[in-house]
Structure 1
């Protein structure tokens, strides 16, 4: 039996980050996948980032993960979403060359010392005599491999089943073989599994699209990279396009809705609330006269285009019929039909914040196996699971990110504390501290943590320290500057649509005006030093939003006081007088580590928390 420290099951975005983290932290790591050709595949939209997801990618990069660097090197179009709104919701999104991303990530993994890439289906987890401590895995060929930790990142392959119209067949995404037997092994061990569903739109041929009838979406001129280490800015190489459904599209779908496995009752799994199929959209929003779809290239060396927003499980002939009712797609040719896919996943409330199972020592979950959707959510969990598996085996303190530190911390806390009723998608609205958790300051929030765990090297860390010192020094300098009124200044203020000044003003007071900026006021600040663009950005944002940031920091302090009140692992909630039965049952199931975590459990109210606090005191 060949032995490893860590075995990762599944080489999607979660599995790749987990395996890279484990190996880079010095642990002998094996990454198993059903097919090497599916490594870091994008079976759905070939894009990375987007609203809140761009935050996750930048946080992954700040911790020392790989997704941001790979995305920068393989993007074909880049856009910053929500520019018209505040900086808290600005989100970077990139269209990716799907094949190039796969090739780059595969090459990165192949070139990582201590990381062994293997093509095989894992069918069983092997446990010690206690039935709870993992000792290895078994493949479909009966080969056994020993390990001290396993990370399950099985994506939608776990007992995968594809639905198209009345047809149902076992499959993973893109017609790859599913993992059929691992579910039985997990259930036999006592793990609770659930059934979720997701969908993928059709891919169509470039020559069959009338681009003259579509709205064009150009990339941004001022491209910002995902990775804080990227000094070579990526380039836009393609355009994307927008089209709309219409009354005829909706009629075709409604006339055939009985053929959809979702509405015929053949699919019982729960689908993603925030990424519904076109059938769901038309049924749930029947008052809307049209729905938007985005027509996006799959890469530079292919004529395949992806129809974002048009996932469906209707029969292929119906798919073709309703697509051809859309202006610009009247003669469309389907290359890969749309489909729905059901798969097995765990109940994430069975996990600790480290993503290790509470009842299975050395077994971790990551990605869609934990009930999430999206490449970015998967990669973030994979990175956390990989780091924590490595730290545990090295006898070091785990990395647990709280809600105020990151979107990654919010994501994992939501999963472990609140659970999920449908595939979870990260949204900026899920964070109560989103002004603190901007994508632009992910490095300031997390680089130190990445350095502590060992994924951020000294050179990068020293550059981060220098950046932080420059920001602090410049804010201190600017805060001390008083500005006297002058004709030149007042002419500028009026030209920018703001009131002139009659008395002396702090420069910071002027910067806080919505119409003005730190850079724009440089002409009245002759002592201003030459600073990098990212430093200037942070100086302006921290000055402009100082009052709001202070309020959120006070909220964070109150939250962390509750987080510091730890709950004994062996507490018996049934013996706490005055605690409601529902609260006792929920607390016993989740087994929160702190009073703060307990306060976020659904079904536990403030009165229950007060009872718990009195009991602990």
Structure 2
């Protein structure tokens, strides 16, 4: 069946696997996507949404690099919101509610229309390894399929175990069996594995809910989109709704705590800190009488509803009884109960920054196998693993994004350098250069690099260059055009901002905190320029940010450039840290385990102090 050798085999068809297959294929590799169920490619296993705080920035970065997640999201979106709009632009984060069925369908169609992608439905039970190099995979039917590189994106399927109350059964997702064999083989090779936990809430029948008792949560009046390409903007949206738990609901849930796998010792692994189950929230925040519940439709036409904020592994009878006491859920009908799932992962300090494993050449890991949680984190790793798998087998340098270049760079560096003992989730606070890493400029940061790789299309590059040129020209217009006090002072008085006494450049007054583009558009020269040059909202937003935050952006760029000097100081491969007696014992231990490539990476390892970095610099003659 498989006479030829593939360039890249991707194992798993979730968000990481789909992006990995698309990236490798679009760069020219003959790619095989092997998954246990072809009907669930790109499936949203948990909430029907993409983006959010910091996650929205990641989706924009994936799109800028030529990935598919932003395009698929735009084609299946039912509601769009820009979160944190009341804060500075570094915090603005796009989020979309999606039609779950259409999302998976669009992913399947996108991959099927990608040249170089083949598909095969079966479980991969092991790897074919020759010496220290992976050379293929073995399926559960005993088929050996050869390839030059393998990308593992197994999600929650490696020895997955589902918990509902005191019941437990093997599975990688509700209704799907677990994957076996791979963990055991990798640990035989010397890999260290661990267990993690995640969970999901009940799905219910929207026809049984009383939305009149809930608070509507509409989308933005002027919705945007994720992709920088010419995907369509929503003209119609579906509302979400919000309700709350209560002291009564909490008491009903507590009645089942003795049968909860979280509290009776059945679940020993660690779950996501920032997306806890409802029983965990009640236990950790006992002083709170209520928690928010977001009622999210699963699509345009289905009646299925996702109960966001009610993730649980309590017995199904307890789930049902408690949820019936939530306002608006008095007559609720269940589609399926919530559950928790435990699965194997491999601490990511065992990887290089390219996501290739240190122990086995040409073997790459991406997604939850690396200890992350979230579609967006998984998709970005899949994209990078697919890119680097292609680069490795074509004997090119790996593609690595630095911390000042992308949230994806922060994510991977955190994983490789610090590791994780709980499901890793991205936040804006994790990025020290978040003023540079905004959602609005991901294309300006990353598309030129992706185009050089052969991944981003010429169309994508030309759109980016046009946006950059028009934005720069508009900023120059503000720097070089003057205003008169008679025109600007009425606006400043409205804003209770100090009036001006003489003419000055528009850039200066536009830099004031309360003055927005909408105010500047009331000045005739600005309005005329916008009309004459047919500027769209994307250019207007980019120009406004460049004017109002130019000082902050320049300062952060300067800080990044200073630290870049440490990034350029390489540590020789195979360096023996044990011979540096001036290093602390903990530093020697951590440096030997992680094997940082640069001084900058070494400085970010937990347990390596500034004095340890100084010792390394002295020894390296710097």
Could you tell me how far apart the structure 2 residues matched to 1:225 and 1:596 are?
36
Question: Residue 119 of structure 1 aligns with which residue?
Answer: 121
Secondary structure of residue in 2 paired with 1:124: strand
Question: Residue 534 of structure 1 aligns with which residue?
Answer: 538
Indicate if the aligned counterparts of 2:16 and 2:379 stay in contact, CA closer than 8 A: yes
1:361 aligns with 2:361: yes
> Aligned pair count?
614
Q: Which runs of 4+ in 1 moved over 3 A?
A: none
Could you tell me how far apart the structure 1 residues matched to 2:289 and 2:179 are?
41
Question: Residue 606 of structure 1 aligns with which residue?
Answer: 610
Question: Residue 521 of structure 1 aligns with which residue?
Answer: 520
Instruction: Give 1:524 deviation, angstroms.
Output: 4.9
1:574 aligns with 2:572: no
Query: How high is the TM-score relative to the length of structure 1?
Result: 0.98
Indicate if the aligned counterparts of 2:491 and 2:519 stay in contact, CA closer than 8 A: no
Secondary structure of residue in 2 paired with 1:30: strand
Instruction: Give 1:384 deviation, angstroms.
Output: 0.3
Secondary structure of residue in 1 paired with 2:198: strand
Indicate if the aligned counterparts of 1:436 and 1:549 stay in contact, CA closer than 8 A: yes
Could you tell me how far apart the structure 2 residues matched to 1:184 and 1:335 are?
35
Instruction: Give 1:231 deviation, angstroms.
Output: 4.6
Could you tell me how far apart the structure 2 residues matched to 1:512 and 1:519 are?
13
The answer to which of 238-247 and 513-522 deviates more is: 513-522
Trace 1:470-485 onto structure 2 (pairs within 5 A).
470-485=470-485
Question: Residue 411 of structure 1 aligns with which residue?
Answer: 411
Question: Residue 57 of structure 1 aligns with which residue?
Answer: 59
Could you tell me how far apart the structure 1 residues matched to 2:98 and 2:231 are?
19
Secondary structure of residue in 2 paired with 1:175: coil
Question: Residue 48 of structure 1 aligns with which residue?
Answer: 50
Could you tell me how far apart the structure 2 residues matched to 1:358 and 1:476 are?
49
- Which of 614, 619, 622 is the equivalent residue of 1:615? 619
Secondary structure of residue in 1 paired with 2:558: helix
Indicate if the aligned counterparts of 2:11 and 2:35 stay in contact, CA closer than 8 A: yes
What per-residue deviation string (whole Å, max 9, x for no partner) do you get for residues 435-463 of structure 1? Answer: 11110111111111110111112232122
Question: Residue 374 of structure 1 aligns with which residue?
Answer: 374
Could you tell me how far apart the structure 1 residues matched to 2:216 and 2:477 are?
45
Secondary structure of residue in 1 paired with 2:196: strand
What per-residue deviation string (whole Å, max 9, x for no partner) do you get for residues 314-337 of structure 1? Answer: 000000011011111111111111
Question: Residue 183 of structure 2 aligns with which residue?
Answer: 183
Instruction: Give 1:519 deviation, angstroms.
Output: 4.4
Could you tell me how far apart the structure 2 residues matched to 1:471 and 1:105 are?
33
Question: Residue 34 of structure 1 aligns with which residue?
Answer: 36
Could you tell me how far apart the structure 2 residues matched to 1:521 and 1:327 are?
46
Could you tell me how far apart the structure 2 residues matched to 1:278 and 1:422 are?
18
The answer to which of 530-539 and 276-285 deviates more is: 530-539
Could you tell me how far apart the structure 2 residues matched to 1:302 and 1:485 are?
57
Question: Residue 196 of structure 2 aligns with which residue?
Answer: 196
Indicate if the aligned counterparts of 2:59 and 2:69 stay in contact, CA closer than 8 A: yes
Query: CA 1:492 to 1:237, structure 2 compared with 1: closer, same or farther past 3 Å?
Result: closer
Indicate if the aligned counterparts of 1:21 and 1:386 stay in contact, CA closer than 8 A: yes
What per-residue deviation string (whole Å, max 9, x for no partner) do you get for residues 135-163 of structure 1? Answer: 11000000000011100000001110000
Query: CA 1:68 to 1:317, structure 2 compared with 1: closer, same or farther past 3 Å?
Result: same
Question: Residue 99 of structure 1 aligns with which residue?
Answer: 101
Indicate if the aligned counterparts of 1:400 and 1:409 stay in contact, CA closer than 8 A: yes
Indicate if the aligned counterparts of 2:74 and 2:232 stay in contact, CA closer than 8 A: no
Question: Residue 507 of structure 2 aligns with which residue?
Answer: 508
Question: Residue 211 of structure 1 aligns with which residue?
Answer: 211
Question: Residue 227 of structure 2 aligns with which residue?
Answer: 227
Could you tell me how far apart the structure 1 residues matched to 2:472 and 2:395 are?
36
- Aligned-CA RMSD value: 1.2
Instruction: Give 1:198 deviation, angstroms.
Output: 0.1
Secondary structure of residue in 2 paired with 1:147: strand
Question: Residue 169 of structure 1 aligns with which residue?
Answer: 169
Query: How high is the TM-score relative to the length of structure 2?
Result: 0.97
Question: Residue 545 of structure 1 aligns with which residue?
Answer: 549
Instruction: Give 1:496 deviation, angstroms.
Output: 2.7
Question: Residue 595 of structure 1 aligns with which residue?
Answer: 599
Question: Residue 242 of structure 2 aligns with which residue?
Answer: 242
Indicate if the aligned counterparts of 1:391 and 1:397 stay in contact, CA closer than 8 A: yes
Could you tell me how far apart the structure 1 residues matched to 2:496 and 2:231 are?
36
Question: Residue 272 of structure 1 aligns with which residue?
Answer: 272
Could you tell me how far apart the structure 2 residues matched to 1:292 and 1:49 are?
19
Question: Residue 493 of structure 2 aligns with which residue?
Answer: 494
Could you tell me how far apart the structure 1 residues matched to 2:300 and 2:157 are?
28
Indicate if the aligned counterparts of 2:75 and 2:231 stay in contact, CA closer than 8 A: no
Secondary structure of residue in 1 paired with 2:461: helix
Question: Residue 27 of structure 2 aligns with which residue?
Answer: 25
Question: Residue 317 of structure 1 aligns with which residue?
Answer: 317
Secondary structure of residue in 2 paired with 1:565: coil
5+ residue gaps in structure 2?
none
Indicate if the aligned counterparts of 2:71 and 2:231 stay in contact, CA closer than 8 A: no
Indicate if the aligned counterparts of 1:76 and 1:237 stay in contact, CA closer than 8 A: yes
Indicate if the aligned counterparts of 1:163 and 1:339 stay in contact, CA closer than 8 A: yes
Could you tell me how far apart the structure 1 residues matched to 2:269 and 2:200 are?
15
The answer to which of 209-218 and 251-260 deviates more is: 251-260
Indicate if the aligned counterparts of 1:76 and 1:96 stay in contact, CA closer than 8 A: yes
Secondary structure of residue in 2 paired with 1:5: strand
Secondary structure of residue in 1 paired with 2:360: coil
Could you tell me how far apart the structure 2 residues matched to 1:567 and 1:225 are?
42
Instruction: Give 1:174 deviation, angstroms.
Output: 2.0
Secondary structure of residue in 2 paired with 1:262: coil
Question: Residue 292 of structure 1 aligns with which residue?
Answer: 292
